[in-house]
Structure 1
């Protein structure tokens, strides 16, 4: 393991995941000074291992073809089928190998390369058995040879639970194989040096691995005791605890000098404070400390709280800070939406804005509003958006919430995962900015979106609490790769 890694995960990725970098860390630790996390722990954090991907190249050496020994029907003619005799596969392997390593290292994925390219059926069979024994999370097959397409498919479906097959344009003759294009669990890339598409596949593998090693904490007013389940398709550990646990933690948080100082420091970063007293800025940071404490107590990587009627305990500000630091926090004990935030955190390294939908039917536009939007929409190292501090829109007292100003003409992705239904939705569009309140209503943060290529925007209604991410149509294809590799139905315009 490298010295800069934590539990097998690159330190930079680990820091973002654990919330020890960025805005949230600047405004308060996980628990109050002097308290012992170990003393109050109910569940330990889940161990995180990096995703492992087996990588293999397929092509015959030129001397094998010239000797008439290649294992295809063209060997009697010493024939170089597509890509031909000037493709230089050894040099291409060097280029592709270096790029795959660079992408994998940046993502914290372990790429395990076969020692040499395969070109014999017996070697393919041996490789499949070896990979099955090592149990990687996925296999990446790079096939440079037209007549080896069937072998690439065999490796993809037999060697690992999920697969990426890359075949350059010009190395396939006529239509690409139907089996490669349409086999569930196989992400087929037929392109010209499309490194971005390879990265999308590796990001999908990483996301699935990390979600299967994560814990989502649900805080519910209807729960009477702790329960623990596993989400059926993502493998995420889901722990539910009574709301009184959170209330008790909050009530025990003192408004000490350090906490008050953090609250005032945060207040001073706002573009404007509108009708919110210092008292409720301090209460917001008591809630922030309570959220961090309950997550630490249950070893949680994400949390969703039944928060609507918590009054002064509401975690709106805490959720906004944590989301910006890639610690997914979802409103109202929403399972689907929070899992979507967790998915986007690993697919794109970005915060997702959980919101409720509305529609401008005259202009055919989508509108979303809620109170927990991150200030840093592009991750902890991205730029911060201007924001106002204003009261929560729906219940007294006037607790603090963020009115984040979305950028104009920002490409966005509207997504939602439907737990237990093997379904995702994904729509691309562009944010038109944040309409003021009034004349519009809704909640503290509001964003108006033009969805791409829809005649009636109401027909895309994803249900309550979908997630809006900053991201291009190219980024959205990462979610498409995820759906493909993990056999989920994908609805939308991607």
Structure 2
């Protein structure tokens, strides 16, 4: 699946006395910028046009394009305003000292009118390229399919489905627990055992679960992967606690989730659709897996502790190194197989959560300082240094995001702020 981005270069007639200057070689500058953008974003399908006036815009050429980047190389032709008035997400890029005046004026006007628009103005072209990557993530989100494994009335599910489609464009597909279990029962025991043996071999320790329990988890992984492939999905989320507690699941999906996350898919606990979409956004922007957690605040240490019974171990993406882990039981019921991951201390960590119904994004960041060893609560406990008091009194104060938050290794606050603007979401910085 590739993102498609409309790439517009806004220029002026060469003989016009305006910024950059009369006689400026727009063609050479556009060629250079286009080449650099394409070289750095090879996985994006760009539909490009150079415009000197709004009337030159080729409607047919851009049919089906959902997001636009407008690079202002010259000023005062009205092209940027024309694209913004389409109502689609638009990133304005100021080619410094060429497009600056129209960039600022158009951005301000668009924000006053409530359009989904963001801007980038930097002497470092990589800032513009990173911003275009965020824009491409918005397009990928609109093309994504999420499997929801849950016992849910069709009418209620359709309301959720329509809200998601209307808000970010993603498609929800309801999967019955019976279909998942059917795939589980059809899996190859030999293939599952090989996967389980690999998981155990790579672990620091197999603590509570038996080897057979890990084999069951591997069968669940194969079943989930089969469904993802069958439906052409990018994500799966299961009502794991509810179904397991009611005897509807033969194994927890925790270890299988880790394997999927390590391979670049999205796998989300507890049929949490907002968290699944947050994870997708994280994956598309950073190329890294998101960690869904139940955060705990500790004023004594100054830490926020992100706790859950699994986290990806390839925190830098599928091609990166693996962090250490132990295979544990699921914490609350001391049953099944789960995972205690150890994330790298000293690394920045960015935490996000979307609320689609309220069109809002929560955001904060910190530095990973520890992995807490504590038998109470979920197995994985990643501790980050942060202003705990600010988080405490900003937590769900304006919008209720629930308990879950989704974290990723790295400092990506700027990227997610851009994403919030392009989605038209209210941004709530929990650490401000």
Shorter-chain TM band = 0.7 to 0.9
1:156 aligns with 2:94: no
1:409 aligns with 2:339: no
Residue 220 (structure 1) aligns with: 150
- 1:149-184 deviations in whole A, cap 9, x for unaligned? x62432332457222222233346779634313512
Deviation at 1:485, TM superposition (A): 1.8
1:442 aligns with 2:377: yes
> CA separation in 2, counterparts of 1:177 and 1:50?
27
Unaligned regions of 5+ residues in structure 2, if any?
A: 396-400
> CA separation in 2, counterparts of 1:90 and 1:160?
28
Residue 36 (structure 2) aligns with: 99
Give matches, 1:145-294, under 5 Å: 145=74, 147-148=75-76, 151-158=78-85, 161-171=88-98, 177-181=104-108, 183=110, 184-200=115-131, 202-223=132-153, 229-230=161-162, 231=164, 232-253=166-187, 256-294=189-227
Unaligned regions of 5+ residues in structure 1, if any?
A: 1-47, 65-69, 71-79, 119-123
Give matches, 1:26-425, under 5 Å: 48=1, 50-61=3-14, 64=15, 70=16, 80-84=17-21, 89-105=26-42, 108-114=43-49, 116=50, 118=52, 124-130=53-59, 134-145=63-74, 147-148=75-76, 151-158=78-85, 161-171=88-98, 177-181=104-108, 183=110, 184-200=115-131, 202-223=132-153, 229-230=161-162, 231=164, 232-253=166-187, 256-308=189-241, 310=244, 312-397=250-335, 399-425=336-362
> CA separation in 1, counterparts of 2:299 and 2:352?
20
Moved over 4 A (4+): 84-91, 172-176, 222-228
- Does the CA-based 8 Å contact 2:309-2:378 persist in structure 1? yes
Deviation at 1:412, TM superposition (A): 1.1
> CA separation in 2, counterparts of 1:175 and 1:366?
43
Query: Which stretch of the first structure deviates more once superposed, 263-272 or 285-294?
Result: 285-294
Q: Go from structure 1 to structure 2 and tell me whether the alpha carbon gap of 1:86 and 1:458 turns closer, same or farther (over 3 Å shift).
A: farther
What secondary structure is seen at the aligned counterpart in 2 of 1:262? helix
- Does the CA-based 8 Å contact 2:81-2:106 persist in structure 1? no
- Does the CA-based 8 Å contact 1:152-1:165 persist in structure 2? no
What secondary structure is seen at the aligned counterpart in 2 of 1:285? helix
Q: Go from structure 1 to structure 2 and tell me whether the alpha carbon gap of 1:111 and 1:299 turns closer, same or farther (over 3 Å shift).
A: closer
> CA separation in 1, counterparts of 2:67 and 2:180?
39
What secondary structure is seen at the aligned counterpart in 2 of 1:485? helix
- TM-score using structure 2 length: 0.86
> CA separation in 2, counterparts of 1:326 and 1:430?
24
Q: Go from structure 1 to structure 2 and tell me whether the alpha carbon gap of 1:151 and 1:434 turns closer, same or farther (over 3 Å shift).
A: same
What secondary structure is seen at the aligned counterpart in 2 of 1:244? helix
Deviation at 1:140, TM superposition (A): 2.3
- Does the CA-based 8 Å contact 1:227-1:241 persist in structure 2? no
> CA separation in 2, counterparts of 1:299 and 1:225?
24
Residue 28 (structure 1) aligns with: none
Deviation at 1:131, TM superposition (A): 6.2
Deviation at 1:336, TM superposition (A): 0.9
- 1:54-102 deviations in whole A, cap 9, x for unaligned? 32231332xx1xxxxx3xxxxxxxxx44434697655433331221121
- 1:215-266 deviations in whole A, cap 9, x for unaligned? 2111114458995534121111112233233234334445x23321221122
Number of matched residues? 413
- TM-score using structure 1 length: 0.76
Deviation at 1:455, TM superposition (A): 4.5
Give the alignment's Cα RMSD to 1 decimal.
2.8
Q: Which protein has the larger Cα radius of gyration, Structure 1 or Structure 2? A: 1
